[in-house]
Copies of this chain bind each other. A is one copy, B any other.
Amino acid sequence: MRNSILVVILLLWVTGVFAQKTDLTLEEAVMGQWRQFYPSQPANLQWIPNQENFTFLNEDRTHLLVQKVGDKNAKKSLSLEQLRSDLGLEFKYFPSIKWKTETSFSFSYAGVYYVVNYENKKVKIQQKTELPKGNNLDRHDQTARIAYTDQHNLYIQDEEGRRLEVFATNDKNIVSGQAIARHEFGISKGTFWSPNGQYLAFYQKNEADVTDYPLLDINTTPASLNTIKYPMAGQKSEYAQIGVYNVKSQKVLMLKIDGPKDQYLTNLAWGPENKMLYVAIVNRQQNWMQLCQYDARSGELIKVLFEEKHDKYVEPENPVWFLPNNSNEFLWRSERDGFKHLYRYNIDGKLLGQVTNGNWVVLDVLGLDKSEKNVLVKGTDESGLNTTLYSAPLVGGKSVTKMVKKEGQHTFMVASNGNYILDGFSNLETPYELHLLAKNGTAKQLLYKAKDPYTEKTIATTTFQTIKGEGGVNLNTRLIKPADFDPKKKYPVIVYVYGGPQAQMITNSWLGGASLWMHYAANQGYLVFTLDNRGSANRGFEFENCIHRNLGELEMKDQMTGVEYLKTLPYADTDRMAVHGWSYGGFMTTSMMLKYPDVFKAGVAGGPVTNWAYYEIMYGERYMDMPHENEEGYKKTTLANFTNQLKGDLLLIHGTVDDVVVMQHSFSLVKSFVDNGILVDFFPYPMHLHNVRGKDRVHLMHKVLDYIDEKIKK
């Protein structure tokens, strides 16, 4: 009797104290990372133009709040209720609005685009437009003209609602007004209004020579085809042009651009005078860039302002940024000194000076400060793990001031007068904080602090460690250990890898850049390790471009440096290691399984590139050149040439309608394994694209971890 009371008490104690936190399930980990487990933030945060007020939504998204700099709290401004009744719309939540002027904002709802007047606490519709879906809508705010695409053609809806045909043809190979070059070179759109809205410049690509790639739609009976244009390395490419539409004359003029038709037309931008267009023309080899100035009215080349060459590659990703206070000068970003920095030029192409400098990378130009003598720049720090705010004198050649010391990741928003800055901040210890900074970067006010999202769930622990790679290079690593980590035990290891350029897996942010499934896996008894090898982003040009023509080789060397580091950890069971990665990480995973066959017992490669000749021209040729220019490099990176070296268990995973890394990569590799009589595993995600998204991602991670469990623990 006394014993059972004791048991009850013990049970109460156990459930009440130890079991307050429960383990994350895999489903929670995968589905919850960007939902219930994402640190809360003020939604829809932004400055109102030309004011020292910023707005955001309350937590319930029932009200728009306005806060004036200096006020302690925000005030309720517009309610969802009022917005509904004033506009006669049935929103469930307050929509995502975008302030256009001090008194107007825009939003989309049910496929309709609205511009709304907001004065005297009343709202009324100023413009309302229903346009075809997926239409690349681009509105010029002052004129209220909207450029949009319909299938492959380009139109404008003018201020009176009339449709103007900018460029339309029955030839579906001619695509106008959409991003070109498969979104490389920072290209994210295809239409560019002149500042005054009288001209619309646009990209056009001719895909007639680009080969079709067939994707099988199994949702029809019988299965049917969705054929895409897919330009593979070394093959014929798309041909870009730039058109300029004059709204007044309703005529189109094509810029008279010389050069091979498969060159790249990148970073299109207008000069502030509505007359000149600036285009960074990159040759197909991507080792030569010319910044060209064209007359938008005649289409003539006025001059080549300057050029850049590099024996590996040049990669302009940001258009000219004209100084707001001097229409003859602009800032240009270049990696010419080894790090991406700002250079000031005039419109004659004269270099007036290097504006920023140092072993860090410019990420964003935020604007000029209040004095208009300094440019505010978001950049990395030297470790690459943190971002910060820099102020750099426009005159150049001077030292740059690091304005924010707090280490972590920042999102800065500068008020339009340059007087104040909103600073959204997180680091490994801080889920999210919003600070108001003074113009000199000092924190004036903590506006918002998110709660720890894991008060009821156990997550693993994360540590960073910078280790030395080949030649003394610093390599950032992240290690995730079980919540109940016991240094006397030995844990098997999952190495998660991406490894390719333009990306960084480890940042000093909440969770450190990790996915929550890694925490789930750690709590199942694994160490989850990641290393940002050479080739990855935000560590300078040489750190990235050393991989040129031989993708995977140095990246793998660095990963092996990580493995050596793991071997120094007494609690890491390096006889039982698995590697997992997706896309470039799938290439890395497969490469390591084949080329370092004794290191990993198991690998899971998702959407892997297995042969760079099957990958796209724009990204692929930058790093690998064309197959005939780099036969040795292609041979060494074509994984089918190494399938006979496999020792561990390898699972390949591919979305059946992947239009980025096409299924041919996995099927050709599987074929090579079969040809060599070697067992390998494969799993398709039917009707998924390059990434398995939505709830099927739970299945995916279940598959991945189940496979690793089975193969690593056997």
Contacts and interface: CB of A to CB of B under 8 A. Distances in A.
A670 B655 CA distance: 12
A38 B476 CA distance: 62
Contacts of A698: 677
A20 B218 CA distance: 54
Number of copies: 2
A663 B221 contact: no
Interface in A204-256: 211-214, 216, 218, 221-225, 230, 232, 235
Contacts of A679: 699, 702-703, 706
Contacts of A682: 682-684
A578 interface: no
A566 interface: no
A520 to B, nearest CB: 15
Contacts of A671: 218, 686-687
Given A232-B221, A698-B677, A684 B703 contact: no
B675 A696 contact: yes
A214 B216 contact: yes
Given A225-B214, A674-B696, A703-B679, A684 B667 contact: yes
A90 to B, nearest CB: 31
Nearest to A677: B699
A505 interface: no
- Which one of A212, A223, A677 has the greatest number of beta carbons of chain B within 10 Å? A223
A671 B683 CA distance: 11
B218 A216 contact: no
A470 B678 CA distance: 44
Contacts of A225: 212, 214, 225
Interface string A650-693: 00000010000011100110110011011101111111000000
A699 B674 contact: yes
Contact of A686 (B222, B232, B667): B667
- Which one of A218, A235, A613, A685 has the greatest number of beta carbons of chain B within 10 Å? A218
Contacts of A703: 679
Given A214-B214, A221-B613, A221-B614, A686 B668 contact: yes
Contact of A218 (B664, B674, B686, B699): B664
Given A674-B686, A684-B670, A213 B222 contact: yes
- Which one of A232, A674, A696 has the greatest number of beta carbons of chain B within 10 Å? A674
A98 to B, nearest CB: 36
Interface string A330-351: 0000000000000000000000
Contacts of A696: 674-675
B224 A668 contact: no
A218 B674 CA distance: 14
A223 B662 contact: yes
A221 B615 CA distance: 10
A221 B230 CA distance: 11
Given A674-B696, A683-B681, A684-B670, A222 B232 contact: yes
Contacts of A212: 222, 225
Given A222-B662, A662-B223, A684 B684 contact: yes
Nearest to A613: B221
Contacts of A230: 222
Contacts of A667: 216, 218, 223, 656, 684, 686
Given A214-B224, A670-B684, A677 B702 contact: yes
A668 B685 CA distance: 10
Nearest to A685: B674
A210 to B, nearest CB: 10
A230 B225 CA distance: 14
Contacts of A674: 685-686, 696, 699
Nearest to A703: B679
B681 A681 contact: yes
A480 B656 CA distance: 40
A69 to B, nearest CB: 49
28 contacts: A212-B222, A212-B225, A213-B222, A214-B214, A214-B224, A218-B663, A218-B664, A218-B671, A221-B232, A221-B613, A221-B614, A222-B235, A222-B614, A223-B663, A670-B683, A670-B684, A670-B686, A674-B685, A674-B696, A674-B699, A675-B696, A677-B698, A677-B702, A679-B699, A679-B702, A679-B703, A682-B682, A682-B684
10 A-B pairs with the lowest CB-CB distances in the bound complex, closest first? A671-B686, A223-B664, A667-B686, A218-B664, A218-B667, A214-B225, A674-B699, A222-B232, A213-B222, A674-B696
Given A221-B613, A222-B662, A670-B683, 15 more contacts: A211-B222, A214-B216, A214-B223, A216-B216, A216-B667, A218-B667, A218-B668, A218-B671, A222-B235, A225-B225, A656-B667, A670-B684, A674-B696, A682-B684, A684-B684
